[in-house]
Amino acid sequence: MKAVRPPLLALMALVLSAAAPLARAQGAPATARTAAPQTSPQREVSMDQAVRLAQRRFRARVVRAETETQGDRTIYVLRMLDGAGRVFAVRVDAASGAIL
């Protein structure tokens, strides 16, 4: 088990170091969301609410967040890092807050 820890720590460090410059360039903390354009006033779930929802549900930290549009539908794509060092993506419907 000890041989597994250094690669996981290296992966976590790589993910966090890659996210930090992007967030700093936008003037936001590394764990904050990427600013989303406010083109759709009918949104019922904000990016902040989606991040909090996903972090609670998956017990992981959001390291990157983006807004994606599919037709007239807005989706938040959240890149997450769990306690074991695994990185995965979660998609949240901006209108309903449903995890897709």
Which pTM does this prediction carry?
0.57
Domain presence at residue 11: yes
C-alpha 35/C-alpha 67 separation (Å) is 8
Which neighbouring-strand residues pair with 92? 76, 99
What integer pLDDT is reported at residue 64 of this predicted model? Answer: 97
Domain presence at residue 99: no
Q: 56-77 pLDDT, tens per residue?
A: 999 999 999 999 999 999 999 9
- Residue 61 sits in which domain range? 5-93
Domain presence at residue 100: no
List the beta strands (DSSP E) in the chain: 60-70, 73-82, 87-93
Structural domain total, the chain: 1
Q: 16-30 pLDDT, tens per residue?
A: 555 555 444 444 444
Q: 29-50 pLDDT, tens per residue?
A: 444 455 555 554 554 899 999 9
Domain presence at residue 72: yes
**pLDDT class of 92 with cuts at 50, 70, 90:** very high
